[in-house]
């Protein structure tokens, strides 16, 4: 990778995504990535007048800690991480993990035990200025069905696009969502209705995730009814789920099937909130077109939406509380079977394209 591209990316993360100010404490947490980007981030934070701190993580070591961790260990671990996070003003997380399935053989009970403590750390983190991004490596390139060189170019096109322009184009959609009561979604194996009345809509254009490109809200907790069948792979807790189908009655998932229904059911039984939806979002990134089994990219796919069992966000609350937050993605472009999204009996998006003039700037040809 060229140094100039890393410098540009570090500038986006520090000066746009997290808006580092003089005196800010900034935690840079790097999972299995090369040092050049970390060095560029440290330089950029210092240049902005902030104080950088760095945690280096290895996912295989994380796996060992999870496999044999005890309640007391997880409690102390979370207390230490929470204390550190409380001292920070901004958080930059770069994930370069080489194997998305590294945690696939960690027993469910160990994952749930760990999650019961790390939830408090996540709550503190979400109150800070934060951004999360994936890092290009051969493993991710393989998921994207690209050569390493081609994926690197794709990655930098995606991560350093004009996010300020995207943010402006999102405003009419945000305003419409906040005026909307009833949502109806139609597609192959999908007929779903719910309300988003009274819940804020949040545009995401590079200030919390890189890549970014979604506007999210949450359904009224008990309002979801119908069925949805997702048409993209859905990695979660070290396993890639396929053909996930969820049936809802008064907000609750009452039936769920997938390529591993038993494993899916186990996750949905983590706690009461895991069977209710905490987020609904429309994806609009013009350069991200195909699923690559990486949710940070997949949830932003042009012409997609995602529907999320589990925890809601505090900035778009519907009262749902859970240790789970699982973004499941459906693409509605014609080559994926098409589909429609209606707001209050008005067609908003058809086959992945916005059909209302005020929102046409969000169609891909206008954002590239």
CA dist 182 and 343 (Å) reads 6
Measuring CA to CA, how many Å separate 51 from each of 28, 35, 130, 227, 310? 10, 18, 15, 49, 34
CA dist 41 and 120 (Å) reads 27
Instruction: Determine if residue 295 is left, alpha or beta; phi over 0 gives left, psi from -120 to 50 gives alpha, anything else beta.
Output: alpha
CATH 3.40.1830.10 in the chain is located at 3-159
| Assigned token pair, 34 | 């090369």
- The answer to pTM > 0.95 is no
**Residue 354: what pLDDT?**
98
3-state secondary structure of 306: strand
* φ and ψ at residue 344, rounded to 5 degrees: 50, 50
Count CB neighbours of 71 within 10 A: 11
**Residue 1: what pLDDT?**
47
**Residue 149: what pLDDT?**
87
Measuring CA to CA, how many Å separate 84 from each of 39, 81, 121, 215, 319? 21, 5, 9, 30, 28
**Residue 89: what pLDDT?**
97
Fold of 3-159: Thermophilic metalloprotease-like (3.40.1830)
pLDDT tens track for 25-54: 999 999 998 899 999 999 999 999 999 999
Using an 8 Å Cβ cutoff, are 45 and 51 in contact? Answer: yes
* Sheet bearing 90-95, strands edge to edge: 51-57, 25-31, 90-95, 129-134, 209-210
Pairing outcome for strands 129-134 and 90-95: parallel
Residues of the chain with pLDDT under 70: 1-2
Give 40-66 as a 3 state SS string.
HHHHHHHHCCCEEEEEEECHHHHHHHH
**Angle, CA of 226, 229 and 230, to the nearest 5°:** 135
pLDDT tens track for 119-143: 889 889 989 999 998 888 888 888 7
The DSSP annotation for 165-210 comes to HHHHHHHHHHHHHHH--EEEEEETTEEEEEE-TT---EEESSSSEE
């Amino acid at each position: 990778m060229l140094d100039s591209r890393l410098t540009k990316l570090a500038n986006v993360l520090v000066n746009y995504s997290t808006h580092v100010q003089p005196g800010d404490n900034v935690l840079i947490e790097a999972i299995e990535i090369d040092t050049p980007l970390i060095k560029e981030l440290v330089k950029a934070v210092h240049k902005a007048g902030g104080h950088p701190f760095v945690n280096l993580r290895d996912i295989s070591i994380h796996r060992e800690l999870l496999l044999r961790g005890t309640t007391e260990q997880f409690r102390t671990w979370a207390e230490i991480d929470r204390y550190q996070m409380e001292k920070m003003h901004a958080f930059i997380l770069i994930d370069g993990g080489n194997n998305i399935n590294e945690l696939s053989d960690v027993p469910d009970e160990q994952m749930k035990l760990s999650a019961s403590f790390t939830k408090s750390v996540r709550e503190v983190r979400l109150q800070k200025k934060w951004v999360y991004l994936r890092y290009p490596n051969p493993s991710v390139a393989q998921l994207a069905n690209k050569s390493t060189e081609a994926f690197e170019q794709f990655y930098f096109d995606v991560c350093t696009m004009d996010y300020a322009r995207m943010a402006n184009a999102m405003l009419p959609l945000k305003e419409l969502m906040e005026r909307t009561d009833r949502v109806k979604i139609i597609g192959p194996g999908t007929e779903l209705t719910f309300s988003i009345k009274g819940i804020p809509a949040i545009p995401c254009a590079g200030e919390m995730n890189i890549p970014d490109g979604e506007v999210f809200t949450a359904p009224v907790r008990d309002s979801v009814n119908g069925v949805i069948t997702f048409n993209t792979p859905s990695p979660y807790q070290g396993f890639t789920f396929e053909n996930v189908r969820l049936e809802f009655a008064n907000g609750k998932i009452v039936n769920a099937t997938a390529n591993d229904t038993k494993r899916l059911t186990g996750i949905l039984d983590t706690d009461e909130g895991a069977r209710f939806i905490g987020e609904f979002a429309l994806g609009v990134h013009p350069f991200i077109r195909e699923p690559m089994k990486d949710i940070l990219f997949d949830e932003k796919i042009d012409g997609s939406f995602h529907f999320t069992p589990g925890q809601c966000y505090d900035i778009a609350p519907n009262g749902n509380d859970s240790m789970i937050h699982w973004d499941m993605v459906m693409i509605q472009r014609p080559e994926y079977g098409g589909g429609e999204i209606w707001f209050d009996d008005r067609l908003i998006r058809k086959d992945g394209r916005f059909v209302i003039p005020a929102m046409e700037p969000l169609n891909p040809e206008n954002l590239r």
